[in-house]
Amino acid sequence: MTRSPRYDRRGNEGGLVDGDKMGREGFEGRVLNRLSELGEIAVRPMFGGHGLYWRDVIFAMVFRDRLYFKVDDRTKGDYVSRGMPPFRPNQRQTLTSYFEVPPEVLEDREALLSWAREAIRVGQDSQRPAC
């Protein structure tokens, strides 16, 4: 199995070296700091990592220092075209409704917020009853 690259391609441990302040420690704290503009983010343990929720809508997972956003048919291609893998918490389980966020998106605060808003939309859409 090939692991995707760490987010920091400059060799700095944990990535996100733009001076983010950490409310929590490590990678997860830096991600939460960057997403703080969205407001109302809740973190809940899930799959040995953490699910990120916006107003009770799950839209992301943080697992082993990687961020995965919820995808649908409209957004999945953006991840696949950049070679990003789906969320795989173990060898027997792959969740194709979550894909790893590309390093260049994670490093760009505005791009990250835009992609996060799309992931929130996908989460909201998945909660709506089918007609």
Compute the distance between CA of residue 84 and CA of residue 103 in angstroms, rounded to an integer: 9
Compute the distance between CA of residue 130 and CA of residue 4 in angstroms, rounded to an integer: 35
Q: Which two tokens stand for residue 102?
A: 């590309």
Mean pLDDT of 5-11: 31
Q: Confirm if 69 and 57 have CB atoms less than 8 A apart.
A: no
pLDDT at 99 (0 to 100): 98
- Give the count of beta carbons closer than 10 Å to the beta carbon of residue 129: 4
Question: What's the mean pLDDT when you consider all of the chain?
Answer: 84
**Which positions ≥6 away from 72 have C-beta within 8 Å?**
97, 122, 125, 126
Q: In terms of pLDDT, which residue wins out, 36 or 17?
A: 36
3-state secondary structure of 110: helix
pTM of the model: 0.80
Report pLDDT digits (tens) over 79-130. Answer: 999 999 999 999 999 999 999 999 999 999 999 999 999 999 999 999 877 6
Asked if pLDDT for residue 53 goes beyond 60, the answer is: yes
